[in-house]
Amino acid sequence: MKNLLDKKILYIICGGISAYKSLETIRIFKKNGAQIKTILTNSAKEFITPLSVASLSQGKVYTDLFNVENETEMDHIALSRWADVILIAPATANTISKLAQGTTDDLASTVLLASNKEIYLAPAMNVRMWEHQSTKQNLQKLINYGYKLIGPEIGEMACGEYGEGKMSEPDKISNEINNYFLNLKKNKKLKALVTAGPTNEYIDPVRFITNKSSGKQGYEIAKSLSKKGFDTTLISGPTNLKIDDDIKLIEVETADEMLLETQKNLPTNVAVFSAAVADFKINKKFKNKIKKHESLNLNLEKNVDILNYISNHNSMRPELVIGFAAETNNVERNAEKKLNNKNCDWIIANDVSNKKIGFSSDFNEVTIYYKDKNKEKLSYKKKSEISDEIVDRIINQLN
């Protein structure tokens, strides 16, 4: 398990008889060079002691949300940012329910809600609890949020019953985390380019033509690609958004600038063109501010269609080219037409006349139209969650 070397694992242990397995899991992680910090829920301390965990992890064990000694450290933020990955094992029905509802009444649940890292759950509970409809609904919520599951297994339980709900063995859990880092390493060989935001085409020094776009979906896609290990470049028109330090950000204003920077940053394995590039620019920009007139005639000329240009130039075309279509009507027909006319591999379309998923919203609902005529709807959720789903599909396509 060489991929665990020097990796930072935040291990959250919940209250269940399977908690004893966490000691062996920690031992395997440490044997393979991982750094471990642990959080024990109050009920977990009924099954294993902080001292036994600290002895194996050789690190601090956190238990309380409000601790005078650590108050200035903001543990729920600091722990989340420290970790490369977060593991919850055992993940009890109670913990799964709390996370699905967004409850934050202890350190573990607060860390998880504040996290921007990959989170793995290793469920452990009685077979009837596992099969209960509420558990299934809660788990589906967490999967939609981007949580990953390890197990559970079918077998004999501590209560004497037999069935699904048994926590996976330490070897399987540690292998899953090792494979996560292995896939990250593979993805680090891959390059991604994302365009986002609007472009401004100036009429005079104070006026311009633009397309409406907040850039939020494009920024979230760049974040998801980077989180999954891609060497990511984001070319952005004017927005008020911030981006992670490990993403190469290139700020532009006009369509010509965006095209130039796109060309300079190719080739890549995947390019996602989510920017709302202005279709037209002024034929001749006025050097001075235009004074008010009763009428004003402007001569416009077409900007280069960046998506179309890149898709049809074999010398620079990425392996996977993805375009966006923000539509107000006939979404399917317009998306399929754009897919065919621009020779891209996917078109991701949404209906921006729906205010719930409009330009400035933090939520979206999209349909991916594939070159092979298939389509797939990603239902209404946060743009960050939509991005994770899109990137999972990009990885599957490239692999």
Residues classed as catalytic: 159
Is the Cβ–Cβ distance between 58 and 30 less than 8 Å? yes
Radius of gyration of the chain (CA): 25
CB 120 within 8 A of CB 148: yes
**Angstrom distance (rounded) from CA 350 to CA 366:** 5
Question: What percent of the residues of the chain are helix, what percent strand, and what percent coil, each to the nearest 5?
Answer: 40, 25, 35
Read off the tokens for 177: 């985390």
Whether residue 140 contacts residue 132, with contact meaning beta carbons closer than 8 Å, is answered with no
DSSP string covering 298-312: --EEEPP-HHHHHHT
Is residue 382 helix, strand or coil? strand
Give the span between the Cα atoms of 281 and 365, in whole angstroms.
31
